[in-house]
Structure 1
Amino acid sequence: MTATKGLEGIVATTSSISSIIDGVLTYRGYNIDDLAVHASFEEVIYLLWYGRFPVQSELDQLLRDLSESAAIPSELVEQMRLYPTGTNTMAALRSAVSALALYDETANEMSSEANFRKAIKLQAQLPTIVATLSRLRAGLEPIAPKSGVSIAHNFLYMLNGEEPSELAVKALNQALVLHADHELNASTFAARVTVATLSDIYSGVTSAIGALKGPLHGGANEAVMVMLEEIGSFDRVEDYVQTKLDNKEKIMGFGHRVYKGGDPRAKHLQKMSQDLSQLQGNTELYDMSVRIEEMVTGQKGLKPNVDFYSASVYTILGIQRELFTPIFAISRVSGWTAHILEQYENNRLIRPRAEYTGLTNQKYIPIQNR
């Protein structure tokens, strides 16, 4: 047996949910470019779960189900109040989602119907948890979710306590669509490994959040914003980036293991960053990002991935950077749950082997002779 580091290029399972073929990302066969421009996030959720787009009555029912499930247990809110000050937001989200299972009497029911209901709960409640965590950290009281509005609208409302603008909702909706699924990425694989043991859906999503927390996965967008804050202004971009390049230091938000010709999602967030910047009347963050891209792509041939421009989009929307990765989770839980449901339908325990590189032929020596 010969190991493949990072399982790169290894085909570990079959799936009909999303694909990346010749640099083109599709959900259920629909090109991400088409979905990013035209689809609502709720339509994409339905598509990922059921394999097709809903008709209007089905979409209306999904919206009702999500609205009815969006409130979180009051006991969980009280738990979150006790989280230590300064707790990493993804660590807090991981703990809160794990705790959700304690308040769901059907948590361990494994019927298809029960698991679909739990998928709805998880999709509906993650935005509420993230908004609640943010407000509690700021010393503010949580805001109850609204009924009859989209997930993007509801999240911004619960976060800020005021009705969001149409463009803000459009921007967040597009970001949620773009992040919804991505074939067998690290967090999705973690979720499938967990539920392949026939553990419950909450455990699968908790595992996925743990994987997403890392800076080489979901945490990259937060790292991009840290870099932009360190640079501070457009006139400092070239010196900062050139120093990084000369020292062969990693610049976050560039390159992707799967996309060699560039991440197809990045251009949509770049356009949204530009539009939001111009509407705000301050294009410095966008201009800084464009100049960084020109230098990194020009000198290293690396192109921006989905994380790079999402950082400026979220910042222009007034979202604090510690929420960037949790927002990724709000979107990706749609894909995680789709993959979990698919894993349950045709399950086999995921148990790969390892190439052993340690010592051999060792003999036990009594302790007095060592």
Structure 2
Amino acid sequence: MNTSPLNNCNQLLHELSLLCERNGVIDPELYTKYQVKRGLRDLDGRGVLVGLTEIGDVHSYIVDENEIIPVPGKLSYRGIDVAEITQGYLTDGRFGFEETTYLLLFGKLPTKEELSNFEALLGSYRQLPISFVNDMILKAPSKDVMNSLARSVLALYSFDENPDDTSIENVLRQCLSLIAAFPALAVYGYQAYKHYHCHRSLFIHTPKPELSTAENILYMLRADKQYTKLEATLLDLALILHAEHGGGNNSSFTTHLVTSSGTDTYSVMAAALGSLKGPKHGGANIKVVHMFEDMKAHISDLEDEAQIEDYLTKLLNKQAFDKSGLIYGIGHAIYSVSDPRAIILKEYAAKLAIEKGLEKEYNFYNKVEELAPKIISKSRKMYKGVSANVDFYSGFVYSLLGLPQELYTPLFAVARIAGWSAHRLEELVQKGKIIRPAYKNVCPKNSYIPLEERASKVEK
């Protein structure tokens, strides 16, 4: 019998993990007894009101005589419907992420001169500190780009001459520099992963200050630095639709929570990145792509509705894909009738699919979007409708752009850093209290037992 120290450690770890599992169980009935709002949500699904914001708003229902009535979803930034924002700059043939960032941060649409100056300011911040890429990214390549991104953000603290100053002007400077640097941090983190873990060629292209955020991402990512206007436009659109989603989403609430402690900007953004990395938050679009890959492997005719329905039924019955019982990309915690982001992204995804000669692939997504809610309504009791959410089409868009899956969630962060920055500044301006919700201790009273009198074995 092998009794090496390593095996003994592994066995002890296993026994201790079982102990954690047993002692971590809380009677579900206690949550009802003490009226605990699990997930900070009411029983009807509405979020518990814990703060006020003027940055973003998500609207998905109306209340009529105390009855919740689902309506088509609306998303607004600083009171302006995001559909109007996207239509405005697309009509002009411009890129809009920088304009949207200005709106989120400063509460108004910029004039032509203000926008030009702001774009130039972001451009001046795109270059990373000398030797940063080599010392902080390439010498410690991570298998997960989100972790690389978080580590890089924390490392930038050391390059800041005034990192702990929480005055609005200093925090704004820090936020703008991070917004500008995030594309390079994400792409370089991926390039390091690709080279050192996948043994592929390494390309480090310096960002160009005159290019938009979306253009710079494609420019730095691709070996030949080439991209089409439609490709950059669609990526820009995706960034705008992911830039903000109210103060209650997990990562934006994390931004408020950690900011309220008085800590520095880099620690706040690293915490937000940790939140976004979770598969229940920013990692969902990868699940959609993997689900479709499995679907195509098990469906012989992608136009056969019967085969598609059969597969979707198996998904719900935990008989297909990851056996979670979920159809990824369908349904949302807030939206029911429709997710406005998915509607906008779908329209332009169709245009790129035609350019790439992938209309059949697009039609397959469209068919799944049509059939999934019907399959769900047949097998499950539903209190609100379900529809395709933004993750359903964002993964498809990224695949059309030829973007690696390792960058899907980091690109979400490249967009959401704009919203996080606005929320951090808003929390600081309000000078609010440290956020500290209550947790009730339901552990029974115990007495201290002298060491010699305790049981000598771990309970089985």
TM bin, normalised by shorter chain, reads over 0.9
The structural deviation recorded for 1:358 is 2.3
Q: Specify the SS of the correspondent of 1:357.
A: coil
Q: Is the Cα contact below 8 Å between 2:141 and 2:148 reproduced in 1?
A: no
Q: Is the Cα contact below 8 Å between 1:37 and 1:174 reproduced in 2?
A: no
Could you say which residue in structure 2 is the equivalent of 1:152?
Answer: 214
In structure 1, distance between residues paired with 2:395 and 2:401: 10
Could you say which residue in structure 1 is the equivalent of 2:174?
Answer: 118
Q: Is the Cα contact below 8 Å between 2:342 and 2:392 reproduced in 1?
A: yes
The structural deviation recorded for 1:300 is 1.4
In structure 2, distance between residues paired with 1:25 and 1:117: 27
The structural deviation recorded for 1:26 is 0.8
In structure 2, distance between residues paired with 1:96 and 1:179: 22
Aligned residues: percent identity?
33
- Say yes or no: does 1:223 pair with 2:287: yes
Structure 2 counterpart of 1:28, one-letter code: R
The structural deviation recorded for 1:273 is 1.7
- Say yes or no: does 1:189 pair with 2:227: no
Could you say which residue in structure 1 is the equivalent of 2:449?
Answer: 365
Could you say which residue in structure 2 is the equivalent of 1:310?
Answer: 394
Alignment of 1:277-316 (within 5 A): 277-301=353-377, 302-316=386-400
- Structure 2 residue runs of 5 or longer lacking an equivalent are 1-33, 42-46, 62-72, 90-95, 196-201, 319-323, 378-385, 455-460
Task: State which of 329, 332, 349 in structure 1 corresponds to 2:434.
Answer: 349
Q: Specify the SS of the correspondent of 2:182.
A: helix
Q: Deviations over 1:203-258 (max 9, x none)?
A: 11111110000111000011111112222366266243231123371121121111
Could you say which residue in structure 1 is the equivalent of 2:88?
Answer: 38
In structure 2, distance between residues paired with 1:81 and 1:315: 26
Task: State which of 139, 146, 164 in structure 2 corresponds to 1:82.
Answer: 139
Larger gyration radius, structure 1 or structure 2: 2
Structure 1 counterpart of 2:340, one-letter code: P
In structure 2, distance between residues paired with 1:192 and 1:119: 14
In structure 2, distance between residues paired with 1:25 and 1:84: 37
The farther-off stretch of 27-36 and 277-286 is: 277-286
Q: TM-score, normalised by structure 2?
A: 0.77
Could you say which residue in structure 2 is the equivalent of 1:10?
Answer: 48
Task: State which of 307, 310, 315 in structure 2 corresponds to 1:244.
Answer: 315
Structure 1 counterpart of 2:175, one-letter code: A
- Structure 1 residue runs of 5 or longer lacking an equivalent are none
- Say yes or no: does 1:276 pair with 2:352: yes
The farther-off stretch of 224-233 and 16-25 is: 224-233
The structural deviation recorded for 1:280 is 0.9
Q: Is the Cα contact below 8 Å between 2:206 and 2:220 reproduced in 1?
A: yes
Could you say which residue in structure 2 is the equivalent of 1:49?
Answer: 105
Q: Deviations over 1:267-326 (max 9, x none)?
A: 111112211111111223322222222221111152111111001101101101111111
Q: Specify the SS of the correspondent of 2:261.
A: coil
When the two chains are superposed, the root-mean-square deviation of aligned CA atoms in Å is: 1.7
Could you say which residue in structure 1 is the equivalent of 2:76?
Answer: 26
In structure 1, distance between residues paired with 2:273 and 2:39: 19
Structure 2 counterpart of 1:327, one-letter code: L
Q: Is the Cα contact below 8 Å between 1:19 and 1:26 reproduced in 2?
A: yes
In structure 1, distance between residues paired with 2:80 and 2:137: 39
* Greater RCO (Cα-Cα under 8 Å, separation 6 or more): 1
The farther-off stretch of 134-143 and 122-131 is: 134-143
Q: Deviations over 1:341-366 (max 9, x none)?
A: 0000112200110133322x322222
Q: TM-score, normalised by structure 1?
A: 0.95
Q: Specify the SS of the correspondent of 2:75.
A: strand
The structural deviation recorded for 1:84 is 4.3
The structural deviation recorded for 1:75 is 3.3
In structure 2, distance between residues paired with 1:81 and 1:210: 21
In structure 1, distance between residues paired with 2:369 and 2:151: 36
The structural deviation recorded for 1:69 is 0.4
Could you say which residue in structure 1 is the equivalent of 2:187?
Answer: 131
Q: Specify the SS of the correspondent of 1:265.
A: helix
Q: Is the Cα contact below 8 Å between 1:110 and 1:200 reproduced in 2?
A: yes
